A and B are shown apart, each in its own frame.
Chain A
Amino acid sequence: MRKTLALHLGLIALLFALQFFLPAYHHGNLARIMVMATFAMGYNIMFGYTGLLSLGHAMFFAAGMYGMGLASTQLGLPIGPAFGVGILSALVFSVIVGLLALRTIGVAFMIVTLMFSQTIFLTILYFGGVTRGDEGFVIKQSARQIFGLDLSDATTRYFAALFLFSMVFLGILWLVKSPSGRVLIAIRENEERAKMLGYDVWRHKLAAVVMSGTVSGAAGAAYGVLFGYVGASFSQVPYSIFPLLWVLLGGAGTVIGPFIGTLFMFYLIDLSSAVTDAYMLVVGVILVLLTMFARNGLMGVVRERWAKWLP
């Protein structure tokens, strides 16, 4: 337990300290990575800990983002309450999706989540009058103020991202160490057995979907607030695949893995594209190698080899 706390609090401390040293470019990148890692952590609750593979998480990200964005631009709410509306939209939406999608399992579950997400994308386009469709809309700098702080300012933005990231990061650490978290892992490992130990599997799965969707939605809302843009592209297929990819790369079912995966992927593209135009080839080859030699992701390998205690 001591090692676990040292590692996870250490990462937060490191991210805090980095803000004072990083050059502007990487400083901005890291703020974005922390928001996206929050998205990935949300995804990990379902995929990594409960064993539910969703192919439609962009819908939760978008639910949070549009809930916040429309509350701000259409209802004229201040950014704090608008952010709250964003989280609430994702929560309500994930309850609905959970109730419907959990009637299926396995491949059917993947397809149902994929289809729901497409529906959200098409709905955003259909109501182009308010959502501005493909173009999306901007959250003006004047609207992105809270407690006298300007959220479009680089430093404020970094700390806001770090705050969200830390809350979710520590929340998930607490969850997976809690009795309920252990039940989620039991369901992932052997659903029939978990049921025959007296656990209400369906209710736990629904809770996992709701937590996962709400955290993902919070990330979407935060992205809109911190980077000032709300757009339909965030509800499209790539944004359902990214969190899966980040979680797989970093290590599904580890608390720290989603962050590592997001960081790794971001800089893999960033650095390789600085060297060559064929950067996708470099990225592809490295991903193939990782799939071959690190099946459980980077932190999965760390856990197997050196740190069995890694939660």
Chain B
Amino acid sequence: MVAVNLLSTHGLSRNFGGMKAVQNVDLTLQQGKIRALIGPNGAGKTTLVSMLCGRIPASSGTVTFLGQDVTELPAHKRISMGMAYTFQITSIFADLTVFENVALAVQHRLGRSAKRLKSETLATLTRVGLETRTEQIAGDLAYGHQRLLEIAMGLGQEPKLLILDEPTQGLSDGEIDEFIALIREVSANTTVLLIEHNIAVVMALADDITVLNFGEIIAEGTPQEIHENSAVQAAYLGG
């Protein structure tokens, strides 16, 4: 099968004042793969993905999604094209029920023909194992369950590209195992971009890894290649 590029960036940069948070990033995501984005704290990972989904504008460079230049498009239009973003800091509708949270994600995809809203929302909640908590107020959920709800909101959109910003932060070991199984299943028909600190999760899931340091890509390759890369080791170990 010929590799199809779902998303690519060219020379993507972002400055905050004089600080270059992201510099000149050329990133290509192939359809159907899981890409992990790793790097030390402050490397610019969240800034980079925020430019991909339009939460913050790029200072320069371009973003191409589904063959279309989306650099100037606002976030909601990119999301409508088939991106989904789950927040690093849990961002749910805390005063609404678990069901309503996911229904809002599903509703946008289904549009006004809301007949399937209930069944698809329940199906999505079942995938993350929250189907018994549908009527609970989201803000009352345990932290781990809030993370799962956040992921469910991403899945509910049935995106072409799912961007997960540190999804396993705060999950227990058992929950992490379930998360890995879930993402494997999702990746059958979704491209995944995963920001992750937990190297075990990265090694278990990623087809390819991109390493960011000081806003620049310092290495890219298979998990095996990255594991052996000296520049990466230097970045992490400060050598």
Interface of A is mostly: helix
- What distance in Å separates the Cβ of B49 from its nearest Cβ neighbour in chain A? 12
Interface residues in A133-188 by Cβ distance below 8 A to B read 179, 182-183, 185-186
Residue A276 lies at the interface, judged by CB distance under 8 Å to chain B? no
Give the contact stretch, choosing among B19-27, B88-96, B169-177, B178-186.
B88-96
Tell me if B104 counts as interface (CB < 8 A to partner A). Answer: yes
Judge whether B116 is part of the interface by a CB distance below 8 angstroms.
no
B76 touches A201 (CB 8 A): yes
A200 within 8 A of B: yes
Alpha-carbon gap, A190 to B55, bound state (A): 14
User: Within the complex, what minimum Cβ distance (angstroms) separates A126 from chain B?
Assistant: 40
B residues less than 8 Å from A189 (CB atoms):
93-96
CB pair A182–B103 under 8 Å, yes or no, is yes
Question: Which residues 185-223 of A have a CB within 8 angstroms of B?
Answer: 185-186, 189-190, 192-201
Nearest residue in B to A201 (C-beta to C-beta)? B76
| Residues of the B chain whose Cβ atoms lie less than 8 Å from the Cβ of A195 | 75-76, 79
Q: Is A196 a contact of B75 with CB atoms below 8 Å? A: yes
- CB–CB A190/B108 < 8 A: no
Q: Which of B55, B79, B96, B107 contacts A179 (CB 8 A)?
A: B107
Complex CA–CA separation, A199 to B103 (angstroms)? 13
Closest Cβ neighbor of A186 among chain B residues = B104
- The CA of A175 and the CA of B80, in the complex, are separated in Å by 23
B220 to chain A, nearest CB (A): 27
Asked whether B157 is an interface residue with its Cβ less than 8 Å from the other chain, the reply is: yes
A280 CA / B150 CA spacing, docked (Å): 49
Q: Are A193 and B75 within 8 A (Cβ)?
A: no
Q: How far apart are A258's CB and chain B's nearest CB, in angstroms?
A: 20
Residues of chain A within 8 A (CB-CB) of B93 are 186, 189-190, 193
Q: Is the CB of B212 closer than 8 A to any CB of chain A? A: no
In the complex, how many residues of chain B place their beta carbon closer than 8 angstroms to a beta carbon of chain A?
A: 24
| B100 near A182: Cβ-Cβ < 8 Å | yes
User: Which chain A positions have C-beta within 8 A of B108?
Assistant: 197-199
Query: In residues 61-99 of chain B, which contact A (Cβ within 8 Å)?
Result: 75-76, 79-80, 85, 87, 91-96
**Distance to closest chain A CB from B95 (angstroms):** 6
Shortest C-beta distance, A99 to chain B (Å), equals 17
Least Cβ–Cβ distance between A130 and chain B, in angstroms: 43
B contact face: mostly helix, strand, loop, or mixed: helix
Instruction: Determine the distance from Cα of A134 to Cα of B53 in the docked complex, in whole angstroms.
Output: 54
Q: Which residues of A contact B75 (CB under 8 A)?
A: 195-196
| B204 on interface, CB distance cutoff 8 Å | no
- On whether the beta carbons of B92 and A198 are closer than 8 Å, the reply is no
Contact, CB under 8 Å: B85 / A198: no
Given contacts A186-B104, A201-B76, whether A196 and B53 have CB atoms under 8 Å apart is yes
B153 within 8 A of partner (CB)? yes
Chain B residues with Cβ below 8 Å from A196 are: 53, 55, 75-76, 79, 85, 87, 91
A197 touches B104 (CB 8 A): yes
- Complex partner residue of A190 from B91, B103, B105, CB under 8 angstroms: B91
Task: Tell me if B114 counts as interface (CB < 8 A to partner A).
Answer: yes
CA distance A199 to B109 in the complex (A): 10
Q: Are B79 and A198 in contact (CB under 8 A)?
A: yes
Cβ distance B131 to chain A, nearest Cβ, rounded Å? 20
Whole-angstrom distance between the Cβ of A311 and the nearest chain B Cβ: 12
Q: Which residues of B contact A190 (CB under 8 A)?
A: 91-94
The residues of A that contact B55 with a CB separation of less than 8 Å are 196
B8-49: which have CB < 8 Å to A?
Answer: none
Contact A193 B76 (CB under 8 A): no
A194 to B92, CA, bound (A): 9
- Name 16 extra pairs, CB < 8 A, besides A183-B107, A198-B157, A201-B76: A183-B104, A185-B96, A186-B93, A186-B96, A189-B93, A189-B95, A190-B93, A193-B91, A193-B93, A195-B75, A196-B55, A196-B91, A197-B79, A198-B108, A199-B108, A200-B76
25 CB < 8 A contacts A-B: A179-B107, A182-B100, A182-B104, A183-B104, A183-B107, A185-B96, A186-B96, A189-B95, A189-B96, A190-B92, A193-B91, A193-B92, A194-B104, A196-B55, A196-B79, A196-B87, A197-B108, A197-B153, A197-B157, A198-B76, A198-B108, A199-B76, A199-B108, A200-B76, A201-B76
On A, residues with C-beta under 8 Å from B are 179, 182-183, 185-186, 189-190, 192-201
Chain B residues at the A interface, C-beta cutoff of 8 Å: 53, 55, 75-76, 79-80, 85, 87, 91-96, 100, 103-105, 107-108, 112, 114, 153, 157
- The 9 closest A-B CB pairs, nearest first, are A198-B79, A189-B93, A198-B80, A198-B108, A193-B91, A200-B76, A186-B104, A196-B85, A198-B76
